[in-house]
Amino acid sequence: MGALFLVRHGQASFGAANYDELSDLGVRQSRCLGVALRARLPSPTIVICGRMRRHRQTADACLEALGAGPALDVDGGWDEYDHNELIGVLEPRYREQRAFAEDIARSDDPARAFQEIFARSVARWVGGAHDGEYRETWSAFCARVDGALATLARRLGRSESALVFTSGGPIARVCGRLLHVPAESQLAIGWTLANASVSKLIARGDVVHLSTLNEHTHCETAQDGRSLLTYR
């Protein structure tokens, strides 16, 4: 059997002009993960990341701390969906991200306001009734992620391991499907995935099973005694 470790990226720059950039805390989380993996996964056979900058930065910081690993492969199959597009399709005024940020900031509870709009945007996308309005439909996203997983599982030999640096959406899709969660509820799994968390899969050829979901103890018990735990 082979083992696949799906890593959600470290904390990105939520609320900044460029979200796709690790915060200082995100870099620390990624290094913390690398240290935690030393005894568990000292020499991964395959290392893959999606094309987002935050994926690569998480991989670089984690692998530096791990102190091992083959050359990093980049696979767009593990890319996140475009949450900005989903929000902009729901509310065209929010295609201008500044307008969205300003409205959220004026809310009594910005985090809650964001989550409510985001959840509505995702539900509309997943529902499938408006596919023509999106560059990538929900079904296309699922096919892309499912294909990336199948390709990687076939690459793994017996007792080999793979590290995949990706985002909450692909991890939620993979784990939701393996848990037989209805499509409309799968992405909700991603909303509780901690930054720099690990979800482990076991693969035997084309057959993949979920072993663990959202492991993040390493961020709760950092060496300096302070929790590094975040979800966004």
* Element containing residue 65 per DSSP (H, E): helix 53-66
Rounded CA gap, 43 and 41, in Å? 6
In this prediction, residue 69 carries a pLDDT of: 75
3-23: buried (b, 16+ CB within 10 Å) or exposed (e) per residue? bbbbbbbbbbeeeeeeeeebb
Computed from CA positions of residues 123, 215, 143, 92, in that sequence, does the dihedral angle turn out positive or negative?
Answer: positive
In this prediction, residue 108 carries a pLDDT of: 86
Query: Residue 48, Cβ neighbours under 10 Å: how many?
Result: 24
From first to last of the 232 residues of the chain, give the pLDDT tens digit: 899 999 999 999 766 566 789 999 999 999 999 999 998 888 899 999 999 999 999 999 999 999 877 889 999 999 999 999 999 999 999 888 888 888 888 888 888 888 899 999 999 999 999 999 999 999 999 999 999 999 999 999 889 999 999 999 999 999 999 999 999 999 999 999 999 999 999 998 889 999 999 999 999 876 665 789 998 8
Query: Residue 191, Cβ neighbours under 10 Å: how many?
Result: 14
In this prediction, residue 42 carries a pLDDT of: 83
Domains of the chain (ranges; CATH) run 2-80+136-220 (3.40.50.1240), 82-134 (no CATH)
Query: Counting beta carbons within 10 angstroms of the beta carbon of residue 65, is it exposed (0 to 12), middle (13 to 18) or buried (19 or more)?
Result: middle
Computed from CA positions of residues 114, 137, 76, 93, in that sequence, does the dihedral angle turn out positive or negative?
Answer: negative
Token output for 49: 């990341």
pTM of the full structure: 0.93
